Amino acid sequence: MDIRKRCAAEFIGTFWLVFGGCGSAVLAAAFPEVGIGLLGVSFAFGLTVLTMAYAIGHISGCHLNPAVSIGLAAGGRFKPSELAPYIIAQVLGAIAGAGVLYLIASGKAGFQLADGFASNGYGEHSPGGYSLLAGSVAEFVLTFMFLLIILGATDKRAPQGFAPIAIGLGLTLIHLIGIPVTNLSVNPARSTGPAIFVGGWALMQLWLFWIAPIAGAAVAGIVHRQVFSVPDEK
C-alpha cells in the first residue's frame, strides 16, 4: 500500500494511543470516588493498541511507536528505508493526541501542566521516586520483552488472528510493572507528545525515553532474528 496511506494510519493510531492512554491517566486515573487507578490506565494503553491493531494493522502494521518500527527493522520485518516517514507520522500523531487532550483537560478548573500531564520521568519526576538507572533498566527490559511479544505473536508460525490480543495484553502487563518507575514509556512518540506541552523537566528527561526503548527494541529484533527465526526468514 502507498506509504502516504500507511503513514496516515500510523498518525491516527498513535493519536489514539496517546489520547486514550495518556487521557485515561490525566482525566480518569484519580477521578473522585470512581478513579480507574494504575490498573485502569494500564488497560487503557493495552486497549488502544488492541483496537488499533484490528483497525489499521492490515494497512500499516500498526506500529504506533518508533521503537517498534526500529525493532521490526532489526528483526527483518520492516524496510529500514521506511523508518523515517513512519517515525515522523508517529511523533506527529502523538503530539496531536496530546494537544487534543490538553484542550479537554485544561477545561477543568485547577488544571495545571505542573502535575505532569502523564509525562515520563525519573528521579523526582518518577511516580515512585526511582533513579535514572532504575528507569533506564526498566525501559530497556520492558521494551525488549514487548518487542519479543510482537515478533512472536506476528510470526507466520503463530496462531493467526490473535496477535492484537497478545500485543494489547502485553502492553497492559508492562504498564502494570513500569508505571510506578517512569510512568512507563516504551514508546518515544508517546513520551514526546506530553513532554512538548509540559516543557522544562519533561523535555530535559525525554532523551532517556528515546534511547532506552529504541535500544531494547533493536536488541530484541536482533535476538529474535538470530535465535528464533527459521532459515528462510533470515
Domain ranges of the chain: 3-233
Give the model's pLDDT for residue 31: 67
Instruction: Please name the CATH architecture into which domain 3-233 falls.
Output: Up-down Bundle (1.20)
> In percent, how much of the chain has pLDDT > 70?
97
Q: Of 23-37, 105-119, 204-218, give the lowest mean pLDDT range.
A: 23-37
Among the residues of 75-207, which ranges form H helices?
A: 83-105, 132-153, 163-182, 188-198, 200-204
pLDDT per position as a tens digit, 81-98: 999 999 999 999 999 999
Give the model's pLDDT for residue 115: 86
Closest to 56 measured CA to CA, from 17, 105, 95, 113: 17
Give the model's pLDDT for residue 30: 78
* Alpha-carbon radius of gyration of the chain: 17
pLDDT value at 122 more than 90: yes
CB-side neighbour CA atoms (13 Å) of 115: 13
Q: Average pLDDT of the chain?
A: 94
Q: Return the number of other C-beta atoms located less than 10 Å from residue 202's C-beta.
A: 23
Q: Calculate mean pLDDT across residues 102-119.
A: 92
Give the model's pLDDT for residue 229: 81
Of residues 13 and 109, more confidently modeled: 13
Give the model's pLDDT for residue 114: 86
pLDDT per position as a tens digit, 217-228: 999 999 999 999
Please give the Cα distance from 55 to 145 (Å, whole number). Answer: 24
Give the model's pLDDT for residue 232: 58
Give the model's pLDDT for residue 23: 95
pLDDT per position as a tens digit, 27-73: 998 766 778 899 999 999 999 999 999 999 999 999 999 999 999 99
> What is the pTM (predicted TM-score) of this model?
0.94
Please give the Cα distance from 234 to 224 (Å, whole number). Answer: 10
